[in-house]
Amino acid sequence: QVQVVESGGGLVQAGGSLRLSCTVSGLTFDRYTMGWFRQAPGQEREGVSCINWSGALTDYSYSVEGRFTISRDNAKNTLYLQMISLKPEDTANYYCAVGADPYFFGGVCKTADFRHWGQGTDVTVSS
């Protein structure tokens, strides 16, 4: 049984920083692309950033590029999202997801390419 658990969300002022973490169990972590997605109230879930199984390839949405950094530690089965220069529009529930197929990287973060999802962690950025 695959388990995906996010942590690190919280309330931060605009311009501040947060680091999200996601720990995965129940599969061979270093075979799968991982992704961060977010969903604000009343909006669709959108891809924020994805990283391939080795960490060599990444993708970022236009709205976060240059401010967010995705990384992974395969020895710890953990995915990270370092967020700096946070804006109120970054406020959302952030989800971690595991790719649907091993050794596949789609180049962009699409929800259809991911199978296992966490419950999410809330990020609130105050102005």
Helical spans, DSSP H, in the chain: none
Q: Hey, what's the torsion of the CAs at 7, 64, 73, 35, to 10 degrees? A: 80
pLDDT for 107 equals 86
| Both tokens assigned to 125 | 């950025």
* pLDDT, tens digit (0-9, with 9 covering 90-100), for 2-58: 999 999 999 999 999 999 999 999 999 999 999 999 999 999 999 999 999 999 999
* pLDDT, tens digit (0-9, with 9 covering 90-100), for 64-76: 999 999 999 999 9
The type of residue at 16 is: G
